[in-house]
């Protein structure tokens, strides 16, 4: 039977564990991204790159708003790790920004590449499940993936690869992203 939620999303026949996991981790990721950009803005907000960071942050705010709505619509609980991601995201953003514009952009490239890859994996999962049934969610995730790719490219355009120890920094951040994804999907 159809059970519409407060936003009118029909939930008949959905794979609830898969959808819960996707929405929970994406909400956590967008929350973390917001905190990263908040940290970057705290350090570089008044610099020449501030407006670029603000533009990307504004898109992340829209992403988080949408996942907040989806959490209510699909009755998904958030990860219990949000308080940790609150602090960790801000520290990562501010810490990378303390390396200067290139450090902040290296962080952006690393995070956005990880998230884009993660979104691609979710898109494959939903298509394998039933592309018609999950059409709306697929459209949202595809759009957000494209926004994350754009942020990745902006980071490269703003000299991310010139950051001190770029390869090491990128690798460490991406390992952290993979761990955050793994944990946020599950708890």
**Radius of gyration of the chain measured on its C-alpha atoms:** 17
What is the structure's pLDDT at 11? 63
CB 82 within 8 A of CB 31: yes
Look up the CATH architecture of domain 16-185.
Answer: Up-down Bundle (1.20)
- From the first residue on, what is the mean pLDDT of each consecutive set of 10 residues in the chain (187 residues)? 46 88 98 98 98 98 98 97 97 98 98 98 97 96 98 98 97 98 95
What is the structure's pLDDT at 167? 98
In our burial notation (b when 16+ CB lie closer than 10 A, e otherwise), range 46-69 reads: eeebeebbeebbebbeebbebbee
CB 62 within 8 A of CB 118: no
Closest CA to 154 of 40, 30, 25: 40
What is the structure's pLDDT at 13? 84
What is the structure's pLDDT at 3? 44
What is the structure's pLDDT at 8? 46
Q: Which two tokens stand for residue 10?
A: 């029909």
Cα–Cα–Cα angle for 118, 119, 121, rounded to 5 degrees: 65
Whole-angstrom distance, CA of residue 99 vs CA of residue 102 = 7
Closest CA to 106 of 180, 170, 40, 149: 170
State the CB neighbour count (10 A cutoff) for residue 4. Answer: 11
């Amino acid at each position: 039977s159809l059970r519409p939620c407060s936003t009118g999303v029909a939930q008949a026949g959905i794979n609830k564990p898969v959808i819960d996991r996707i929405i929970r981790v994406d909400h956590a990721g967008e929350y973390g991204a917001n905190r990263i950009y908040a940290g970057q803005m705290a350090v570089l907000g008044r610099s020449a790159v501030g407006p670029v960071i603000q533009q990307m942050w504004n898109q992340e705010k829209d992403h988080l708003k949408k996942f907040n709505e989806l959490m209510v619509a699909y009755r998904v609980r958030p990860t219990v790790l949000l308080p940790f991601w609150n602090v960790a995201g801000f520290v990562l953003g501010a810490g990378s920004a303390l390396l200067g514009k290139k450090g902040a952009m290296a962080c952006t490239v690393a995070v956005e590449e990880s998230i884009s890859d993660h979104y691609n994996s979710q898109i494959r999962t939903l298509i394998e499940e039933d592309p018609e049934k999950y059409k709306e969610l697929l459209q949202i995730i595809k759009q957000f993936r494209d926004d994350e790719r754009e942020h990745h490219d902006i980071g490269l355009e703003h000299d991310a690869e010139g950051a001190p120890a770029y390869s090491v920094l990128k690798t460490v951040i991406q390992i952290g992203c993979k761990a955050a994804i793994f944990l946020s999907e599950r708890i």
